[in-house]
Amino acid sequence: MSTRLRTTFQTKVKQANQLLFCDRTAKQLNSPLAYFQPQPIAGYIGFLGHQNLGDEVLFDAFKTLFPALQLLAYDGAVDQVHNPPFSYYPAELALYRRMIKPGPFYDLVFLGGGTLINRRQYLSRLSHALQQQHRCVVFGTGVADPAFWHEQDRSEDFLQQIKQWIPVLKDVAVVKVRGPHSAQILASYGLPRPEFIGDPALSTCRPRALPHVRMGTIGLNVGSHGTLWGDQERVYQIATELVQQLIDRGWRVELLPFDPGDLKISRSIAQQFKPNLVTLWPHFYQTDLTLRRMQSYDLVIGQRLHSVVLACGCGVPFVALKYAPKCDDFLASVDCQEFSVKTDALDLDQLLSLVSQIDRNYDVRCQHLTAVGNRYRTLQQQTAQAIVEGSLGCE
């Protein structure tokens, strides 16, 4: 077999494997029957397929808020009708695109949840969607703080990049960001009247019944992707000391990872203690199970942003180990700034004091979080309904 034929054969085999066996995360319609008639489809721009519970929960939130739409990970190549994206979509969706919905594929494109604004890769994808004349919506998206990222990461010019986002966002049909700090950043760079609607992950949560029957268990999450105030190793050290202090005060602790990296360090911490006092929640990749588990905790101490977002959504009091400005963005939106400690200023006594403060005012904290969660769920549902009505003409 000639080299050219061998290369062609290998390419075809690779394409066939991709079509048949590719990861179908956010690349499939809601039911088998949906493939047999044209569906209203929304493209989703976000951080998916990386086993990060926070980002997967955000995608679930969009499916909850927009049940009339089929949500798929956005891929601009799908706009090329006669050159279907074999490298991206599985076989059934590629055939659906060619045979069932050969016209305009996306009825709507979302810039989804997460801190995506002021990140280069998401700017290019949103710009592409606008160039294809898709109706685009920003829904609950956070803004990467230009000053923080300029200081922490010189691989991108975040102070200039945010300026490139503003004209793109002005062409977006609807812009609703995550929190007040995100709105303030965009307004300071010239985007008129940005509004915030809270973190969309709140809409995946159901607040637990009040009063909560307390079982004496604290959920503890530690972990980040490496860019933070302070040093992650010190966070792990303080977290381990905190576990011992909580045990001494009569608490049980469960380590709550949110991605495989968290799982490794959580297992390391848990192994230092007796298993009847410190346990590890291993099913973080199963959203429904993890949300039910979250509801069982008396309170949560969390570093990952969505560990405290989900706690808030379930009405569970929390202490945030805030490691980046995006944490302040969320905390300000739910009026919980006082229940947080920066990771470059972690103090064991302060953390224990916050736990005690919550313990003394437990029912009040639960009521506050339930009320604020319900307020944002209602706002997000109303906003989602207005977007669908404006995009699809639904009544």
d(CA 303, CA 320): 6
Q: Which of 174-178, 221-225, 259-263 has the highest mean pLDDT?
A: 174-178
d(CA 365, CA 134): 43
pLDDT at 153: 87
Domain containing 69 — which CATH number?
3.40.50.2000
Residue 7 has pLDDT above 70, yes or no: no
pTM of the model: 0.91
Residue 144 has pLDDT above 70, yes or no: yes
Cα–Cα distances in angstroms (integers) from residue 132 to residues 69, 77, 136, 264, 290, in the given order: 19, 11, 10, 42, 38
Residue 132 has pLDDT above 80, yes or no: yes
pLDDT at 91: 83
pLDDT at 85: 39
pLDDT at 89: 75
pLDDT at 161: 95
Which distant-in-sequence residues (6+ apart) come within 8 Å of 310 by Cβ?
57, 201, 204, 205, 290, 291, 294
- Same domain for 215 and 283? yes
The per-residue pLDDT for range 234-272, each reduced to its tens digit, is 999 999 999 999 999 999 999 999 999 999 999 999 999
13-39: b (≥16 Cβ within 10 Å) or e: eeeeebbeebeeebbbbeeeeebeeeb
| 3-state SS assignment for residue 253 | strand
94 pLDDT band, cuts 50/70/90, is confident
Task: Give the total number of structural domains in the chain.
Answer: 2
Question: Please, where are the H alpha helices in the chain?
Answer: 3-21, 53-65, 91-95, 120-131, 146-152, 158-170, 180-188, 232-248, 260-270, 287-296, 305-313, 325-333, 348-360, 362-392
pLDDT at 5: 60
pLDDT at 88: 63
Which distant-in-sequence residues (6+ apart) come within 8 Å of 107 by Cβ?
40, 41, 42, 69, 135, 391, 392
- Same domain for 136 and 237? no
The per-residue pLDDT for range 230-242, each reduced to its tens digit, is 999 999 999 999 9
- Same domain for 384 and 367? no
Which distant-in-sequence residues (6+ apart) come within 8 Å of 260 by Cβ?
51
Residue 145 has pLDDT above 70, yes or no: yes
- Same domain for 208 and 115? no
Instruction: Please give the DSSP secondary-structure letter assigned to residue 192.
Output: S
Residue 20 has pLDDT above 80, yes or no: no
- Same domain for 130 and 208? no
CB 140 within 8 A of CB 387: no
Which of 86-95, 99-108, 116-125, 142-151 has the lowest average pLDDT? 86-95
Count the Cβ atoms, other than its own, within 10 Å of residue 265: 19
- Same domain for 383 and 362? no
- Same domain for 93 and 184? yes
9 pLDDT band, cuts 50/70/90, is very low
Structural domain span for residue 214: 204-374
- Same domain for 155 and 232? no
- Same domain for 220 and 295? yes
pLDDT at 13: 41
Residue 3 has pLDDT above 90, yes or no: no
The per-residue pLDDT for range 49-80, each reduced to its tens digit, is 878 899 999 999 999 999 999 999 997 655 44
- Same domain for 324 and 305? yes
User: 394 or 181: whose pLDDT is higher?
Assistant: 181
390 pLDDT band, cuts 50/70/90, is confident
The per-residue pLDDT for range 276-335, each reduced to its tens digit, is 999 999 998 899 999 999 999 999 999 999 999 999 999 999 999 999 999 999 999 999
- Same domain for 151 and 222? no
pLDDT at 303: 98
- Same domain for 56 and 183? yes
